[in-house]
Amino acid sequence: MKFLKRPIVIKNALLFCVLSLFFLSVVESLEGGVSALDLKGFADRIRSDIWLISGTVIVLLSVFRGMRFSPPLFLIFCGYILIKSFSVFFIDLDKIILFLIFLYSIVAYNFFLFLRMELQEPFYNPRFPDNILPDFGYRKLPITLKKDSRSIEAYLTNWGPNGFFCQLKDEGDLIKGKVEVEILLEGHNFFSEGVVMTRSNAGLGIRITKNPVPDLGWTDYYGIINELGFRPTYN
User: How far apart are the C-alpha atoms of 28 and 35, rounded to whole Å?
Assistant: 10
Backbone phi and psi for residue 65, each to the nearest 5 degrees, phi listed first: -90, -5
Domain that holds residue 7: 2-120
Taking the complete model, does pTM exceed 0.85, yes or no? no
The answer on pLDDT for 234 being more than 80 is no
We report the CATH number of the domain holding residue 158 as 2.40.10.220
72 in any annotated domain? yes
147 in any annotated domain? yes
The pLDDT, as a whole number, for residue 73 is 95
Distance of CA 90 to the CA centre of its chain: 36
Band of residue 150 on the pLDDT scale cut at 50, 70, 90 = confident
223 in any annotated domain? yes
129 in any annotated domain? no
User: How far apart are the C-alpha atoms of 151 and 4, rounded to whole Å?
Assistant: 20
Mean pLDDT check: name the lowest of 1-10, 31-40, 48-57, 137-146: 31-40
How, if at all, do strands 142-147 and 178-185 pair? antiparallel
- pLDDT, mean of residues 114-127: 89
Backbone phi and psi for residue 119, each to the nearest 5 degrees, phi listed first: -75, -10
- pLDDT, mean of residues 162-183: 85
- Give the number of domains in the chain: 2
Q: How would DSSP label each residue in 50-62?
A: HHHHHHHHHHHHH
Band of residue 202 on the pLDDT scale cut at 50, 70, 90 = confident
CA count, 13 A, side-chain hemisphere, 136: 22
The pLDDT, as a whole number, for residue 138 is 45
Band of residue 116 on the pLDDT scale cut at 50, 70, 90 = very high
Domain boundary among 66, 89, 120: 120
Average predicted confidence (pLDDT) for the chain? 84
Band of residue 137 on the pLDDT scale cut at 50, 70, 90 = very low
Strand partners, 189: 184
The pLDDT, as a whole number, for residue 155 is 87
The answer on pLDDT for 98 being more than 70 is yes
Instruction: Indicate if 94 and 177 belong to the same structural domain.
Output: no
Instruction: Indicate if 103 and 159 belong to the same structural domain.
Output: no
